[in-house]
Amino acid sequence: MQPQLTYRPRSPETFPDWSFSTLDVEYNRESRSVWMYYKAEAPPFYSLQTLQDMADLRESIRGLIASAPGRDYPVDYFVMGTHKAGVFNLGGDLAMFAHSIESGDGALISYYAHACIDVVFGLTDALGGAFVSLAVIEGQALGGGLEAALAQDFLLADETARIGVPEVAFNTFPGMGAITHLTRRLGAARAEEIMLSGKVYSGAEMYEMGVIDAVAPEGRAKTQAQAWMLDGGADRHARRLALAGTRRKLFPVTWEELMKITNLWVETSLSVSRHDIRHMERLAAAQKRMLAGS
């Protein structure tokens, strides 16, 4: 069953002055790029509002590209970044997870999981290959934060970024795309090693492992991302677009695969122990403190 998100795309005529509760949007004319930033004051995790905003932004870009104003704002690149100091994204809404599991509310956690797949699949598809997508990781990218980044065509990280999928700590697994994308990037054995360890790696370590495509010196990720997009001009962009399209054809990511995995994640999550729920609640409290301090 597909998520019941009701899309609310913004008008192409008002681009780039689109307003979202949890996202900032900017347009860089030099690199012909749309930048999506997680807002500094937004939750450091994927709230349902964040997922709604990301889906709405996707549909807004789709409308922009198809519109007359789109000729004035050509999109060669879509970039995912953050305005929150020290945090890219911490992943799932752990307070909601813990509450849903403890109360047996399978409908809510399933709705959330399906909404995540709506967003991740849309990112993976890049509107049918209309542009090249890039994640610029600064700070902590954990769990679903990494999963959303992995859905981009290319990943660039600050060398000091903290990146991982720690879900094994409460006896579940990353259910919103990491299995699919890490396996395609690294092969099954290496992907499973990362997911089963629960280890958090630096951006530099992830680059050496082949998860990240480029690494930037501390504090230079956004600047280096802009230089990366400008390097080689239109010819380099065309090659990147062709490479991304070839990957989609040779190693396709399907809605059905993502949904099958996330449904297994829901089933597994609903059966974790009370001890695991308490651990989720402690991490959720840390997320809440981070939000209060933003």
Summarised one tens digit per residue, pLDDT across range 83-137 is 999 999 999 999 999 999 999 999 999 999 999 999 999 999 888 889 999 999 9
Summarised one tens digit per residue, pLDDT across range 235-268 is 999 999 999 999 999 999 999 999 999 999 999 9
Summarised one tens digit per residue, pLDDT across range 40-72 is 999 999 999 999 999 999 999 999 999 998 899
* Inter-residue long-range contacts of 18-27, CB under 8 Å, 24+ positions, other chains counted: 18/57, 18/60, 20/53, 20/56, 20/57, 21/49, 21/53, 22/47, 22/49, 22/50, 22/53, 23/50, 23/53, 23/54, 23/57, 24/83, 25/57, 27/73
In the chain, pLDDT over 90 holds for what percent of residues? 92
Q: Tell me what the mean pLDDT of segment 28-43 comes to.
A: 97
What residue type is 209 in one-letter code? M
What residue type is 237 in one-letter code? H
Whether 106 contacts 160, CB under 8 Å? no
What residue type is 89 in one-letter code? N
- Give me the pLDDT at residue 294, please: 59
Q: Does residue 169 have a pLDDT over 80?
A: yes
- Give me the pLDDT at residue 79, please: 98
Domains along the sequence of the chain with CATH: 12-220+243-286 (3.90.226.10)
Q: Tell me what the mean pLDDT of segment 161-181 comes to.
A: 96
- In whole angstroms, what is the distance from residue 268 CA to residue 26 CA? 39
- Give me the pLDDT at residue 293, please: 66
In the chain, pLDDT over 70 holds for what percent of residues? 98
Nearest to 149 by CA among 221, 98, 220: 221
Mean pLDDT, the chain, whole residue set: 95
Q: Tell me what the mean pLDDT of segment 175-193 comes to.
A: 96
Joined tokens for residue 69: 């104003």
- Give me the pLDDT at residue 2, please: 47
Whether 139 contacts 159, CB under 8 Å? no
Q: Is the pTM of this model over 0.85?
A: yes
